[in-house]
Structures are given as structure tokens and as C-alpha cells.
């Protein structure tokens, strides 16, 4: 084989190898189960009949994570309340953009009818705590530094927000930042 033929062969093999490796990575990402420590499984027979998933109309998957305040957050403990479940990170510019809207919403709905839960995902816990303190964030901030819960919820872009009604059912999903509190409030109508 001369140099020209070898170069042509390499130009054909390299893209094929890259495509093969990418395909294997995608399959591994899709089929890999989330870390069991972050997922709570149903414990009663009546819950077994519930369709659990991350699409509108399905019951949101339960999970347990530590929070910035060294407490434990468990999603199922919030049954009976409407929950806004937001996945964000301090390194995410669009996530930082929507913080004022969530702060305004928290002030407006401080009666406990809506729980704002902002999961800090794939982020440094100390950095998330500093950011929350520096920006006066007083809603619940669970810590998911390894992304187990973001994997469970199939998060593909941040911020991503799930609206979960008082029965634990997902009623709306938004990928991308909210511009203002009114935009979030429009989604609150999905709880009804």
C-alpha cells in the first residue's frame, strides 16, 4: 500500500471509528440506570399501579437528596402541594438569568401553596451554597453533584423545569430559562 492509499484509508476509518464510539456512548447513556441512592422506590402496592415517568401526565419519579441546609429533601414528602422542580447549575448562564423570576415567585407565593425546588445539578455543592447565599435564594436547593437525579429526569439542557401538581403528576415542562415571573405564573395554570 502506498502513502496515498493509506491516507485515503485513514480518512475513511477515522470518521467510522468516531461514529461507532459516539453510538456506544449514546447507548450507554440511555441504558445506564441512575444511582440507586438518589432514587426512592414505591413501597406500597397501591403505588405500583401508578405510571411513573418524566412526561406530562405521568407521576414524577421520587428521589431523595441532601440540601444546602444539610437537610434531606424527598419529593414524595411534598404530595399535597404543587411543586416547581427546576434543574440548574451555577455555571449555567441561562440558569442565572431566570433567578430573579424565581425569587419574585417565591415572594409572591410565600403562603406555601407552591414549593420551589431548585436542584443544583452537576455542580460544586459549596459553590451552589455560596451562590444561593449571595443571591438571597430561600427556596429548597437539593444537591445533585453527580447528576443522578438529572439522569433520572432525562435532563438534556439546563435550565429545565417540571411543574408537578399536588397528586405528584407532571403537568408542564419547560426547557430553557423563564424571562419573568408572569411566564412562570402562566405555567401555574397547569396545576388546575
Q: What is the pTM of this model?
A: 0.75
How is residue 35 written as a grid cell? 444511582
99 contacts 179 by C-beta, under 8 angstroms: no
Which pLDDT value is given to residue 11?
A: 66
In Å, how far from its chain's centre is CA 120?
8
Three cell numbers at 81?
402541594
How far is residue 65's CA from residue 88's CA, in Å, rounded to a whole number?
15
Do 24 and 42 lie in one domain? The reply is no
Residue matched to cell numbers 414524577: 60
Q: State how many domains the chain has.
A: 2
114 and 25 in a common domain: no
Residue 31: all three cell numbers together: 441504558
Share of the chain above pLDDT 70, in %: 78
Distance (Å, whole) CA 71 – CA 152: 21
Q: What is the pLDDT of residue 40?
A: 42
What is the domain extent for residue 91?
Answer: 38-191
- 114 pairs with which residues across the strands? 82
**13 and 106, same domain (yes or no):** no
pLDDT, position 112: 83
Distance, in Å, from the CA atom of 188 to the CA atom of 180, rounded to the nearest integer, reads 13
Question: Do residues 21 and 47 both lie within one domain?
Answer: no
Q: Tell me which of 40-49, 95-104, 172-181 is least confident.
A: 40-49
Q: Measured between alpha carbons, how far is residue 168 from residues 102, 127, 144, 161, 187 in Å?
A: 21, 30, 20, 14, 16
**pLDDT tens digits for range 110-153:** 888 899 999 999 999 999 999 999 999 999 999 999 999 999 99
Do 45 and 28 reside in the same domain of the chain?
A: no
Given the C-alpha cell 419529593, which residue does it identify?
75
pLDDT band for position 37 (50/70/90)? Answer: very low
pLDDT at 171 over 90: yes
Tell me the three state secondary structure of residue 151: helix
SS3 24: helix
Whether residues 184 and 143 fall in one domain: yes
Confidence of residue 9 (pLDDT cuts 50, 70, 90): low
Q: Check whether 34 has a pLDDT greater than 80.
A: no
Q: Do 51 and 138 share a domain, yes or no?
A: yes
Average pLDDT for 10-39: 51
Same domain, 11 and 60: no
**Are both 66 and 140 inside the same structural domain?**
yes
Q: Are residues 55 and 93 in the same domain?
A: yes
Domain of residue 164, CATH code:
3.40.30.10
Amino acid at each position: 500500500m502506498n502513502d496515498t492509499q493509506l491516507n485515503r484509508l485513514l480518512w475513511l476509518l477515522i470518521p467510522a471509528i468516531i461514529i461507532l464510539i459516539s453510538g456506544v456512548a449514546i447507548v450507554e447513556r440511555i441504558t445506564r440506570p441512575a444511582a440507586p441512592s438518589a432514587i426512592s422506590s414505591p413501597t406500597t402496592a397501591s403505588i405500583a399501579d401508578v405510571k411513573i415517568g418524566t412526561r406530562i401526565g405521568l407521576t414524577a419519579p421520587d428521589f431523595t437528596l441532601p440540601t444546602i441546609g444539610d437537610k434531606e429533601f424527598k419529593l414524595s414528602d411534598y404530595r399535597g402541594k404543587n411543586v416547581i422542580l427546576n434543574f440548574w447549575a451555577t455555571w449555567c448562564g441561562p440558569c442565572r438569568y431566570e433567578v430573579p423570576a424565581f425569587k419574585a415567585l417565591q415572594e409572591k407565593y410565600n403562603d406555601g401553596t407552591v414549593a420551589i425546588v431548585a436542584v443544583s445539578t452537576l455542580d460544586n455543592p459549596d459553590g451552589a451554597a455560596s451562590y444561593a447565599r449571595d443571591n438571597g435564594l430561600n427556596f429548597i436547593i437539593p444537591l445533585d453533584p453527580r447528576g443522578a437525579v438529572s439522569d433520572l429526569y432525562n435532563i438534556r439542557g439546563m435550565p429545565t423545569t417540571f411543574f408537578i401538581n399536588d397528586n405528584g403528576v407532571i403537568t408542564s415542562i419547560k426547557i430553557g430559562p423563564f424571562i419573568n415571573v408572569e411566564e412562570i405564573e402562566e405555567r401555574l395554570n397547569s396545576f388546575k
